Amino acid sequence: MNTYNVDFREGECWYGLCADDGVHFPLTEQSCYSADFSVNRTVNQVCPILISNKGRYIYSDSCFKIEAKDGRLSISTEGAVELIEAGSTLKETFLEAAKEHFAPQRGIPPREFFDTPQYNTWIELRYNQNQEDVLKYAHGLIENGYPAGILMIDDCWQKYYGCWEFEKERFPDPKGMVDELHGLGFKVMLWTCPYVSPDSPEFRELRNKDLLTKTEDGKVSLHEWWDGYSATLDLTNPIAILWYDMKLRSLCDKYGIDGFKFDAGDARFYENDKLSLGMADPNVFSELWAKFGLNYKYNEYRACVGCQGYPLVQRLADKFHSWDEKGMASLVPNTLTQGIMGYAYTCPDMIGGGEYSFFEGEGLQNRLDQELVVRYAQCAALMPMMQFSVAPWRVLSEENAVLCLRAARLHTQYAYYILTLAENAGKTGEPIARYMEYEFPNEGFEKVTDQFMLGDKLLVAPVLKKGQTTREVKLPQGRWAFLGEKMYDGGCTVTVDAPISVLPYFERR
């Protein structure tokens, strides 16, 4: 194990490394932070890179342990760590790092990810995915004024894990359903994972062909995850990859499925998998899972190691229905961290929170925080992507449902601009949602993580606290139009009105 020490320069901040820890970044001389990413045990993206606002970056080919304490970064790893001088600002340094280590590849995700909201059936249907209610949800979107976009049918459309075929009782006519959804204007994606249910024909087939990972004693590895116990496809084995790809291609050919939500694949679930054809470590398995998605233009990931610059949609981990750092408070800092790590095509999870347990049981109307749902929709509206799951017209008052629809329309209003930024990301790797420091160096924005830039044109300052009806916004130098109308001179902090009907944002003039 090699240890590398890097002392902070005066005023230096370090960005990147771990999306799920974005709320703790940037690291500064005063930071006390430690983490071990030799196995990514977080539920989101990890990339072994740190980028400084003082013209240097740290990079390794493998994930590492890190400690920030007493003005020093200490990095421990079996591999090598590079400390590279590049540029003089966060933006210049990022662009040099992107060019060297994760130059964009193979274009960008399809335009539908960016120019309209996405929709996911998870919160509405949870473990009761079925044809009737999927169609009801889709028609409800159209009837309530939402534009057709990508519709993801979540977990439990299939018979069981490893048997990637529609469950016939719940989906009596999959082809008819997909045709109807296409007729409404939707692209259709299905949830999937790299796991196989034990005691199934698929398990026996794959075990007999040696296509599952194993423990040290040579037995098939069964690991616990949020849906029980499963075996895992050996993603280092080309024959296992071919088997899985054929199952998914069959769904595309038979029913017209457009793509897949590739869930799970977390490195932490591979820790007991000691034997595989390629003898890969857990992080490599997670990386291979992500690279598999390059076979499908319509894809979505949540857990990932590496793969920066690829046309992979990277979602934030499931958020709680809360205002704290497990929910709303994490949306901006974690999205910004994704971007500076090299994941430009980001989605801030399902509006209102994708952690389904909150939405189960009786009395939802009494538990639901309608203000939170509205503010979440507003926060997502001017991010690269936004995704609805819970149906606003079902759970919100008429007034608040209208505000969610207004947020969706704001996103489509700026669709051309967002798509232009995505195309730029495909060429340069630049984030779409950017730290203030990225666009405005040396103006005191290095620690600002509750407002952000959408490209270099829009400053977005979502309301992130319950009951707040005004918003303090730190404006950079220049002229800024609030909501496209009232003009402000920058270089100062202003307070603007932000009732629940308003998402504060400014256009650079």
In this predicted model, what pLDDT tens digit does every residue of 32-66 receive, in sequence order? 999 999 999 999 999 999 999 999 999 999 999 99
Q: What is the pLDDT of residue 364?
A: 84
Average pLDDT of span 81-85 = 98
Whether residue 463 sits in one domain with residue 416: no
Give residue 102's pLDDT. 86
Residue 226 falls inside a structural domain: no
Are residues 123 and 84 both part of a single domain? no
Which residues span the domain enclosing 94? 2-101
Asked if residue 214 is part of any domain, the answer here is: no
- Looking at the fold, whether 495 and 451 belong to one and the same domain comes out as yes
Q: Is there a single domain that holds both residue 273 and residue 380?
A: yes
Write the pLDDT tens digit of every residue in 426-450: 999 999 999 999 999 999 999 999 9
Give the mean pLDDT of 318-347.
98
Domain boundary (420, 451, 466) is at 420
Structure tokens at 256: 């017209």
CATH code for position 502: 2.60.40.1180
By the 10 Å C-beta count (0-12 exposed, 13-18 middle, 19+ buried), 354 is classed as buried
The number of angstroms, rounded, from the C-alpha of 466 to the middle of its chain's C-alpha atoms is: 24
- Would residue 86 count as lying in a domain? yes
25 and 152 inside one domain: no
Q: In this structure, which long-range contacts are made by residues 40-43, counting pairs with CB atoms below 8 Å and at least 24 apart in sequence? A: 40/266, 40/267, 40/268, 40/282, 40/283, 40/286, 40/303, 40/305, 41/267, 41/268, 42/18, 42/317, 43/266, 43/302, 43/303, 43/317, 43/318
Interatomic CA distance for residues 156 and 169, integer angstroms: 12
- Split into its structural domains, the chain has a count of 3
Q: Is residue 160 part of a domain?
A: yes
Share of the chain above pLDDT 90, in %: 94
In DSSP terms, 224 is beta-bridged to 229
For position 328, what pLDDT does the model report? Answer: 99
Backbone angles phi, psi at 297, to 5 degrees: -60, -40
Q: Is 306 left (phi over 0), alpha (psi -120 to 50) or beta?
A: left
Residue 380's nearest CA partner among 312, 432, 456 is: 432
pLDDT band at 260 (very low <50, low <70, confident <90, very high): very high
Contact 166, 174 (CB under 8 A): yes
Written in H, E and C, the secondary structure of 254-273 is: HHCCCEEEECCCCHHHHCCC
| Same domain flag for 84 and 174 | no
Cα distance between residue 75 and residue 126, in whole Å: 41
Beta strands, E only, 213-364: 223-225, 228-232, 259-262, 298-300, 304-305, 314-315, 346-347
Q: Which residues pair with 347 in a beta bridge?
A: 315
> Across residues 334-343, what is the average pLDDT?
99
Of 101, 125, 142, the last residue of a domain is 101
Angle between helical axes of 238-255 and 174-184 (0-180°, round to 10): 70
Q: Write the CB contacts of 177 (distance below 8 Å, at least 6 apart in sequence).
A: 131, 134, 135, 171
> What is the Cα–Cα distance from 187 to 193, expressed in whole angstroms?
20
3-state secondary structure of 146: coil
Per-residue confidence band for 382, with pLDDT thresholds at 50, 70 and 90: very high
Average pLDDT score over the chain: 97
Q: Are residues 460 and 487 in the same domain?
A: yes
